[in-house]
Amino acid sequence: MSSSLEDQFEKTLADYRQKRAGLKDLRARMAEMSSTATAPRNVVTATVDTHGQITGVSFPSSAYKNMTPTELANIVCDTVRKAQTMAREQLAEMMEPMMPAGMSMKGREPGKIDIDRLFPEDPEEGLLFSGLNQ
């Protein structure tokens, strides 16, 4: 192998190892992540995990005792949804640095790919080939 090809291979291998370590760290942080939301007047508190699954519900005050079953059900559902939204936002924030350029986990359409940025008319200008000719 020529020196420049060996250098490129070593750089690519180092980048791979760095990204792999970053993903392992992300996986560990995701496993520990939870999001908690509390309804107004401390009626209910809901906690969810990384995937939005409910891991806890509590009633920190006696405010729920003055509510109809329908009101209580609605506020519990709203609070769980708020915690789930918080979890999605927290997860997107964690994943954003790992996303390739042209792709984002934030915004109205998380995970949407900017096709023109990934695959421009001139392939050598695209993100997939960037850095290969250095």
Q: What is the pLDDT of residues 39-76, one digit of tens each?
A: 999 999 999 999 999 999 999 999 999 999 999 999 99
Same domain, yes or no, for 120 and 83?
no
The strand pairing partners of 103, in sequence order, are 113
Among 12-26, 65-79, 112-126, which is the least confidently predicted range? 112-126
Same domain, yes or no, for 6 and 53?
no
The pTM for the full model equals 0.68
pLDDT band at 132 (very low <50, low <70, confident <90, very high): very low
Q: How far is CA 12 from CA 5, 9, 61, in A?
A: 10, 5, 56
As for how many domains the chain has, the answer is: 3
- Which residues span the domain enclosing 28? 1-32
Same domain, yes or no, for 85 and 44?
yes
Q: What is the C-alpha radius of gyration for the chain, rounded to an integer number of angstroms?
A: 23
